[in-house]
Chain A
Amino acid sequence: MLITCPYCGPRDVIEFTYQGDGNRERPQPASQNLDAWNAYVYDRLNPAGDHNEIWQHSGGCRSHLRVVRNTLTHEIRSTTFARGGHKSADNRAEGRS
């Protein structure tokens, strides 16, 4: 499998480290909402199809990347730098409780 790092170009998957589900939404640091924290730490979608993932190009430029990967075909639909594109939907999570 090749992942195209936006900085380094296409590289073999062995240069990358999977760093978890890219759909996770981290609550605000001071949040005491355990449901939101629980969802962030443990709940995963595990879709059959396109999946948002975080990968680190640990054997290269070490950037974290947002990767949309099809879990059925391994096709990688997009790769972007994670920096700057992060979601912080803590307010929504707070609002749920």
Chain B
Amino acid sequence: MSPRRAETGGRIDRLRTIRFTFDDAPYTGHAGDTLASALLANGVTLFGRSFKYHRPRGLLAAGVEEPNALVTVLRGEVREPNIAATMVEIYDGLVAVSQNRTPSLAWDIGAINQLGGKILSAGFYYKTFMGPVIGPMKGTRFWMFCEHFIRRAAGLGKAGTASDPSRYERMNAFCDVLVVGSGPAGLMAAKAAADQGARVILADLEAHFGGSANWSGETIDGMPAADWAQRAVKQLEGNDNVRLLPRTTVWGYYDGNTLAALERVTDHKEAPAKGEPRQRYWAIRAGTVVLATGSFERPLVFPGNDRPGVMLAHAAERYANEYGVLPGQRIALFTNNDSAYRSALALKKAGAAIVAIVDVRSDVSNEMRKLTSEAEAELLAGHAVIATEGGKALTGLKVQRFDFMSGALSGDERSIHADCLLMSGGWSPTIHLASQAGAKAEWDPARQAFLPPKPTQRWIGAGAFTGSFSTAEAIAEGRAAGLQAAGGAASPAPLTVVEAAPGDPDPAPIFEIKAKGKSFVDFQHDVTAEDVRLAHREGFVSVEHLKRYTTLGMATDQGKNSNVPGLAIMAEALGKPIPEVGTTRFRPPYTAVSIGSLAAERFGDLKPERLTPMHDWHIANGARMYSAGLWYRPMIYGLAGETVEQAYVREAKATRESAGIVDVSTLGKIAVQGPDAAEFLDRVYTNMFSTLAVGKARYGLMLREDGLAFDDGTTWRLGEQEFLMTTTTANAGKVMQHLEYFLDVIWPELKVSVTSVTDEWAGAAIGGPKARAILAACVTGTAVDNATLPFMGIVHGQIAGVPVMICRLSFSGEMAFEVYSGAGYGTHVWEALIEAGKPFDLVTYGLEALGTMRIEKGHVTGAEIDGRTTARDLHLDWMLSKKKPFIGSAMMDREGLVANDRLQLVGLIALDNRPLNGGGHIVEELDEANPHDSLGHITACCYSPALGKYIALALVKGGKARHGTRAFVSDPLRNRFGPIEIVSNHFYDPDGSRMHG
């Protein structure tokens, strides 16, 4: 039989045995056990090594606040470190390992750090930054020397490197009332709200609803509290308007009553069901939140308070009552308040011997004295524990007479033999979510605790969260909160009767016993009381500085145990009351949140893919695709053995010699419709559109309000009141928003509607000397000759029975046509064009060839319209109408925007016949060792098959004035230096004779 498992008791399923391993040793436990309770039942006392000093550590708590017993859970190659053993539900095959120990937990070489305790005191990291001088090493060099060892020695579990195959999901939820915490207060609140018909979500981070009712041993409504809780849960389960979320930690409270929660869906299972996520991130929008998050018991700070076997009093009570595990056979308690007496009695009932109750108060009530005798314990009132004994398990403790007014110790030391010491330093309401929600917590001198602030959002507190520590109060407050949250009236019905041990909720204001030895405040980060005082002596007086200097409360447990004792010690050092020292604000997350849950369904898939109607054809026909924003576009259609450059040179050359076709479906397309559409376009574009004839297209340029270039494209007039605007692929969304803004905010009187029709149309651009012949071979219903379809003309016809709209315009510089059809027919039309093009040596070309031909033509794209260039910089000033104002017209002539030395668009030719690189700089004097005085930079580059040279577009100071001059490219990053000639950006066919035909 397990050494510490009681014969009876607990809410575990003793008929179900579960097998797992911890540090490779096999163990068994029962269904309902946590890793902590199961190991404790097996007699394990040593759970981890501490952060800095590698001190042996055991269980301090039984819940989410556990700072010591952190483990790594392995699932195959995937490891998840730093999980509290108290929060791991065991399952068959669970593999857990301890952390921060070399080579093993029992024999840890890092424990030598305990001897060098002074060196590792508060601010140690920071001090290594500054010195001391050791031989030739000082300051940062000393830090760098130390860093390697510190990082190895100090720390938590190791993160894994294997990729996580788990699925994560996000859920959006809405409710009238979100109840956080399912203890008696939360259950009552949920039930009261649900009975009012409200939509309720009840979330609890534990596996089983009930909170303290699961282990308090109290009687509620005439039945054991745990049974009462289960009955309440059953009732809630039957309600359609209630969603129960066990294993769900509400970790963030954001503006607008939006809360974030993490549900551990399958962490307690051997394997998820098909499609089942490991964890689910819940984004909850709640009408009202009931915060019934309970409270944390605080440790007392005294020498040796971190030894395995020293535990929080309620935690031991919980292990006994919920899991049937006794943390010790001979148990002593050390307390500053009444709650520990109840714990003592519970453990006595569970079968342990209570050897002593050490109370810092000399004045102990008769009720507590009565509980002491029921527990058959010796009461040491007006005493304190000054030391603990033992190695990896507790063997005893020392007590001394204690004056709680002065803190003085006196009299003889007395040794007490015990294998478990339980401590209770009072209770801190779990106010984290309320603090996140806004206001500052308030110190309550009676409770010696920070109580929740006044709500700044719509939440209502209930139970221990508000400082009402008794179950009777929790039930009353819970019901009232639930009713109020659901908009119901206060209930006159009598409240459920609770039978509980008596007790004064107010502790004595004692946080620390000052005696010789290390007294821990923050167990997880190994911060001692002396560290806090050292920080004070070194001048850290603000609580925020104290926190950062000592790292108190900055570990993964975020100081759930340590914040208040740390503050109390700081306040004492400062000689100020605690409220004047103040507290830090809690920030999300309440507990660690997996990155996977935040990525949710985006896990392994960063962005949605945007595909053109002809996407599958491109893939099937050998296109190498690349992403352009969200879009996927063909880069090249490479032949076997071709390099990218060989492929695009072949494609561009063939297009200029015969014909080429490219998918342009990604161009932004916006339907601009309405009686004022033409007027609107006149205001939006720098040039005129009201004068454009129906059935014609025009190239247009837009500026931003500040006068800089924004976007360009052609706009087609399809009807008197109907235009089809095209934008660059990258700017489609921005242009749409720009238009909508002006229509909604600036010119609401204009009757114009704008609609994104990008996806309505499939677009194919076919260009080259034989393009028209190809169209003539497949288009029916219209002629495509020069008279019917002149440059910038539009015709409607059919290809392969599909209606198409054809506009004659050119980006490649060849005679070219854009053929638009309904997207659902895109592949059909594309294939018909390919077929018609076969006798004419039509090639398909990708973005590389498209870019090459546009560079040869000197057309601008987003690389040149980069948010810094003006129309003049790009030689587009011919498009600036003087007949009308337009967006940007007032600002575009400011002196800085018309200066002669601005960067302006030019062409470059590499004189050394080597490739140029985008981003490379242009300099007058080549100085490879010390590049200086950039004239500008390259925006786009390629090998030009038309010129037989490596060319580029660039933005260069002085622009046109430098045509015909020589300079150098200076690209130290890629080690590319060499001579270039600056020329016009119109490299090829500058008078446009080819496209005009």
A2–B285 CB distance below 8 A: yes
B759 to chain A, nearest CB (A): 16
On chain A, the residues within 8 Å of B889 by CB distance are 29
Across the interface, A64 reaches (CB within 8 A) one of B285, B438, B741, B890, namely: B741
B743 to chain A, nearest CB (A): 8
Residue B841 at the chain A interface, CB threshold 8 Å: no
B748–A83 CB distance below 8 A: yes
Chain B residue nearest to A36 (CB atoms) is B890
Residue B270 at the chain A interface, CB threshold 8 Å: no
B885–A30 CB distance below 8 A: yes
Within 8 A of B (CB), among A37-51: 37, 40-41
B741–A29 CB distance below 8 A: no
A73 to chain B, nearest CB (A): 8
Q: Which of B251-259, B906-914, B927-935 contacts A (4 or more CB under 8 A)?
A: B251-259
User: Assuming the A-B contacts A10-B256, A64-B740, are A31 and B890 also in contact, with contact meaning beta carbons closer than 8 angstroms in the complex?
Assistant: yes
On chain B, the residues within 8 Å of A27 by CB distance are 890
Residue A74 at the chain B interface, CB threshold 8 Å: yes
A58 to chain B, nearest CB (A): 7
B380 to chain A, nearest CB (A): 51
Chain B residue nearest to A64 (CB atoms) is B744
Chain A residue nearest to B733 (CB atoms) is A58
A12–B890 CB distance below 8 A: no
B744–A1 CB distance below 8 A: no
Across the interface, B744 reaches (CB within 8 A) one of A17, A41, A63, namely: A63
Residue B894 at the chain A interface, CB threshold 8 Å: yes
B885–A29 CB distance below 8 A: yes
On chain B, the residues within 8 Å of A81 by CB distance are 744
- Which of B257, B258, B283 has the most chain A CB within a 10 Å cutoff? B258
On chain B, the residues within 8 Å of A63 by CB distance are 744
Residue B891 at the chain A interface, CB threshold 8 Å: yes
Chain A residue nearest to B706 (CB atoms) is A41
Residue B705 at the chain A interface, CB threshold 8 Å: yes
User: Bound state CA distance, A26 and B705, in angstroms?
Assistant: 10
Residue A97 at the chain B interface, CB threshold 8 Å: no
B894–A34 CB distance below 8 A: yes
User: Assuming the A-B contacts A29-B683, A31-B890, A86-B748, are A2 and B256 also in contact, with contact meaning beta carbons closer than 8 angstroms in the complex?
Assistant: yes
Chain A residue nearest to B256 (CB atoms) is A2
Across the interface, A56 reaches (CB within 8 A) one of B258, B683, B741, B891, namely: B741
User: Bound state CA distance, A26 and B747, in angstroms?
Assistant: 11
User: Bound state CA distance, A37 and B283, in angstroms?
Assistant: 43
On chain A, the residues within 8 Å of B890 by CB distance are 27, 31-32, 34, 37
Residue B493 at the chain A interface, CB threshold 8 Å: no
User: Bound state CA distance, A2 and B458, in angstroms?
Assistant: 14
Residue B489 at the chain A interface, CB threshold 8 Å: no
Mark interface residues in B884-914 (1 if CB within 8 Å of A CB, else 0): 0110011100100000000000000000000
Residue B746 at the chain A interface, CB threshold 8 Å: yes
On chain A, the residues within 8 Å of B706 by CB distance are 41
A82–B744 CB distance below 8 A: yes
A10–B746 CB distance below 8 A: no
User: Bound state CA distance, A64 and B255, in angstroms?
Assistant: 22
B662 to chain A, nearest CB (A): 30
Across the interface, A2 reaches (CB within 8 A) one of B255, B438, B737, B741, namely: B255
21 CB < 8 A contacts A-B: A1-B255, A1-B256, A1-B258, A12-B283, A12-B285, A17-B737, A19-B741, A26-B746, A27-B890, A29-B683, A29-B885, A34-B894, A37-B891, A41-B706, A54-B745, A56-B740, A58-B737, A63-B744, A73-B438, A82-B745, A86-B746
A residues sitting closer than 8 Å to B (CB atoms) are 1-2, 10, 12, 17, 19, 26-27, 29-32, 34, 37, 40-41, 54, 56, 58, 62-64, 73-74, 81-84, 86
The 7 closest A-B pairs by CB, nearest first: A2-B256, A64-B744, A29-B885, A1-B255, A83-B748, A30-B885, A74-B255
